[in-house]
Chains A and B, each alone.
Chain A
Amino acid sequence: MLGNDIVDLQLAAKQSNWRRKGYLQKIFTEQEQDLIADAENQDQMVWLLWSMKEAAYKIVNIEIGERFYRPKSFECIPNFSEHLIKGKATYEDLELDTVSELNENFANTTATSEQNRKLEHYLLNNPNTYIEDFNKNSFQFRLVKNEANLPTIQDILTEEYGPASVSHHGRYVSIVHPSQFEPV
């Protein structure tokens, strides 16, 4: 299972004032608040952790089949030793792996419950035409919405369908799906 989340840092700076009193305490654990306090770039750290929580939430939401707003219950630990930030997101007894990209423009995280599954990532720029844009540029995969209006990927050669996760915010659309998938 997989889930992703992208934060456009330019839009986030306009939409949210995370410095307001009580904001960080409501959504981040003490350990995460320490990471933010110690970060060289606090804005980037806030939105990195937030994208990790949202990506992990998407998996838990599908697993338990229920929506909820409990960001503080996702404990997120990014590991900055590599170019791509690998991390962990833990919700109750469920531990998920995350991989994030962080720069001055965006924080983009994919969470997965299957550690070694190879994934395909795409970053597009137009929220209104991303499906057509994706399909124009992909030889192997086709992005479609299923009956429940959820994004699904189809392998053009095998005609099998697999899961896809799409997130958009501001200037960006982030798409992720497994490189290979079994018949569903």
Chain B
Amino acid sequence: MRLIEDILKNNYETVSIIGLAKNAGKTVALNYLIEEAAINNINIGITSTGRDGENTDLVTQTQKPSVYVREGMYAATAKKTLLLSDAKTEILETTGISTPMGEVIIVKIRQGGNIQIAGPVSVTDMKYVAGRLKHFGAQIVFIDGAIDRKAVSSPAATDACIMATGAVLSRDMKKVIEKTAHAVECYTLKQTTDEIKRMISKKNKTCIILHDGSVIVPEIETSITGGKKISELIDENAECVFVKGAVTTALLKDLWENKYLRGIEVIIEDGTKLFTDINVWNEMRQKGLKVVTLNNINVVAVTLNPVSPAGYFFDSALFRESMEKHIPAVKIVDVVSGGDAE
């Protein structure tokens, strides 16, 4: 089944496209999805948390791909970028949300062409805009992430996510695969049981759940520096630990000091909250660290870009095969050469 059909079948209404690095191929992936949607007669809406479709990169001054939109699609973009686009559009409504490029405007494409997309930056505004695009008739809304930011892929913001990775991550293909596999692992961690979820959502704070069903809430302002205090409260009576917010390497190390942690699960909000060093993470996981999430993230595909703007590239067939071998559970799509196989 093709990627766009996968998304439709699973009823994912909002899909984020996030890059594991800058220039990992988010825009190329977006263009691929626009084309696939057009072929399959699916009405989509697009917007971006950064800026897309401009000619040159703000940081590296390298060329960037433009976004080509088709007639009948919907888009949410800032006023000034709209003026720079050659696609013909009909303005449906203004949103009152301001960006550095002006107010975000919702449009319907009347005649295909290149467009620049710059949508709202904050997750709260993005959810509103995605809702409006759906209201006007978009069956699926694609939200392109900015640079290497991933907050928009949190289940609190979007239903599913597409992860863009590519040669730009490292000159060493092994490292690219390792980093991508790590990101996929973090995103696809198992979800906890409904019962525990209910108990946690009642507190909505970092807490420890005991075997007898009681809950201890440590007195900390943030889990970032509260590792030691949380750790002190974990003993043989603990059933599991919930950490709200960012989970850093230092926090995991503090928790790991406690020997009772070996037998129990650490629950995090979702995969976007993990900020751990890849080596520390792997070592702890091998020694038996169990991490589950409150809400899992649906990774519908990993897209590959075998070309780096720094001037080197990988053998695309080999790149794809190796990636498929290391990440068997997720669909791998080479958006530069080939697209997805049947």
A binds B: no
